[in-house]
Chain A
Amino acid sequence: MTIASTAQLICFAALSATLVLGALGVVLLPNIVYSAFLLGGVFLSVAGLYLLLNASFVAAAQVLVYVGAVNVLILFAIMLVNKKETLAVIPGLPLRRLLSGAVCGGLFVLLIRVAFTTAWPLPGPLPVGEEATIRIGEHLFSDYLLPFELASVLLLMSMIGAIVLARRDVLSSDVITGESVDQGLIEKSRSPLLLDKAPR
């Protein structure tokens, strides 16, 4: 066994351990802030696994998108609305936990079975390594063009939606009905979403 393969094995074991333990922590810890930080750790270990698979571009993109954007946004949301609240006691909590645990365990056994019964083509295709960036670009603009463009349309829609929802509180009156608009951010069933921007 060469030094490189030993190092790879150690890295794989360490990354897998942090991945599994971190993921369990995300689900099981009662403190939501810890869960959010552990989620960042899980994303980082996944990026490390991509690196081990020689997919450095995917690993860097994983860090940029999941750790740098998704996880930071989750943390932002948690910290901006960090309200201590005593939740009402749910009846039959132990039974519910048992049931959901059983469902998760069943799913786990199923996935393990799939993993062991599938004839994986080993060794898989050779990693493209440094050429991956070019290959990904080619795919994005040829056979994966439609999903790529659809994703951008989806993002645009959600962005416009977010702006409309966020700007509601600056309007003084409803354009159509002429009633004064509630300045809170409470969703109202009757008021239309698109309002005239000019205050009356």
Chain B
Amino acid sequence: MVTNTAPGLDLEASFEQALQGLGLSPGAAHLLWLPLPMVLVLVAAVVGVLVNVWLERKISAAVQQRIGPEYAGALGVLQPIADGMKLVFKEDIIPARADGLLFTLGPVLVLIPVILSWLVVPFGQHLLISNVGIGIFLWISLSSIQPIGLLMSGYASNNKYSLLGGLRAAAQSISYEIPLALAVLAVVMMSNSLSTVDIVDQQTGAGILSWNIWRQPVGFVIFWICALAECERLPFDLPEAEEELVAGYQTEYSGMKFALFYLGSYINLVLSALLVSVLYLGGWGFPIPVEWLAGWLGQPIDAPLVQLITGSVGIVMTVLKAYLLVFLAILLRWTTPRVRIDQLLDLGWKFLLPIALVNLLITAALKLAFPVAFGG
């Protein structure tokens, strides 16, 4: 755990102090604190998925000039819950000739790394589960576990289409992981740290002007394309291309196991959007630094009320940026055609990989030439 002395809301310290005031030992206070942020983030991720499903239905309807769900709750906001309940009550079928153990384990292995990656998503200076030093690298390495789950479910289904879908999914995520990691590396090089908190801190100097998107426009585009490919969103949803593969590795799944795949892909989409906002759009930073605003209003930045407001603004900004990107992803899904598998692999290996390498090289050169602007 990195000890951070920067000002800001530190809920953990306050909570533990309050409990120790009640006569608990420091260890017990810490133990009581530990599950709170985890449960909170898990709930946030699941609610994020519900919002996402609703957005997807509404935006796709708008794109196709339909109305979309409207009877379940106001504007159909309860529709995702109805969808989820339906999946819960569906019969859980395991095909007779399938491998039952691997068939069950596959979706779990797809979901767990995605949820674990939320560990490093910051919503404020101290508002994250753990400020681990390897931060963004943890996300990259965890997301490399996912193909194993996909291969597992593809193999265990004992179905040609599933196996092909699983193999495609694994090939796709392997080939897009490399440009993704190189794009992240360029950002890491500028902020001299892998920690997500440090990456955001490095972008907070001058509000919107100091965001990484101005210094890393190419990296931003590469990262966004690769993130979409990792999430298997259109135009890159080759593993479940309906015309060719029925539904890819999900073909034999039903009920809650199918829902796990869906949950995984939507949580991954929100996570990718959050990480884009952390890496390139200044994370929790307001377009005008809150310190300046507080100064203009004549308020001390350390006052409890001001800290509460800046903390809330931080959370709102992070979520707002992430959902703007999710909106973009949904719009892309409903307006672009699907690429072919060979085009997909060509794009990854022959176009994005060289561009990402050149981007990394140019970033290094610029960092040496202009250490003021590119993080000395």
Chain A residues with a Cβ under 8 A of chain B: 2-4, 33, 37, 40, 44, 56-57, 60-61, 63-64, 67-69, 71-72, 75-76, 79-80, 129-130, 133
Contacts and interface: CB of A to CB of B under 8 A. Distances in A.
Contact of B167 (A2, A57, A68, A80): A80
A57 B193 CA distance: 12
B144 A69 contact: yes
Contact of A37 (B2, B27, B148, B166): B148
Given A37-B152, A63-B145, A64-B141, A69 B174 contact: yes
A69 B175 CA distance: 11
Interface of B: 2, 27-28, 30-31, 102, 132-134, 137-138, 140-142, 144-145, 147-148, 151-152, 154-155, 163, 166-167, 170-171, 174, 177, 194
Majority-rule SS of B interface residues? helix
11 contacts: A44-B145, A60-B140, A63-B144, A64-B140, A64-B141, A67-B148, A72-B170, A72-B174, A75-B170, A76-B171, A133-B134
Closest 6 CB pairs of A and B: A68-B144, A130-B133, A64-B141, A60-B141, A63-B141, A3-B27
Contacts of A2: 27
Contacts of A57: 133-134, 137
Q: Chain A CB within 10 Å — which of B148, B152, B171, B194 has the most?
A: B148
Q: Chain B CB within 10 Å — which of A33, A37, A80 has the most?
A: A37
Given A63-B142, A69-B144, A133 B167 contact: no
Contacts of A133: 133-134, 194
A62 B138 CA distance: 11
Contacts of A130: 2, 133
A60 B137 contact: yes
Given A4-B27, A68-B177, A40 B148 contact: yes
Contacts of A75: 148, 151, 170
Given A37-B102, A60-B138, A133-B194, A72 B148 contact: yes
Contact of B145 (A3, A56, A68): A68
Contacts of B102: 33, 37
Nearest to A4: B27
Contacts of B163: 79
Contacts of B28: 3
Contacts of B177: 68
A1 to B, nearest CB: 10
B238 to A, nearest CB: 16
Contact of A56 (B133, B152, B171): B133
A143 to B, nearest CB: 23
A24 to B, nearest CB: 17
A79 B142 CA distance: 23
Given A4-B27, A130-B2, A56 B142 contact: no
Nearest to B193: A133
Given A37-B152, A60-B137, A76 B145 contact: no
Contacts of A69: 144, 174
Nearest to B148: A40
Nearest to B138: A60
Q: Chain B CB within 10 Å — which of A2, A67, A68 has the most?
A: A68
Contact of A76 (B30, B133, B140, B170): B170
A71 B138 contact: no
A64 B151 CA distance: 17
B294 to A, nearest CB: 31
A76 B147 CA distance: 10
Nearest to A132: B133
B147 A68 contact: yes
A34 to B, nearest CB: 8
B345 to A, nearest CB: 14
A69 B140 CA distance: 12
A23 to B, nearest CB: 17
Contacts of B151: 72, 75-76, 79
Contacts of B141: 60-61, 63-64, 68
B246 to A, nearest CB: 18
B28 to A, nearest CB: 7
A25 B138 CA distance: 28
A12 to B, nearest CB: 19
A68 B147 CA distance: 8
A2 B132 CA distance: 22
Q: Chain B CB within 10 Å — which of A2, A57, A60, A79 has the most?
A: A60
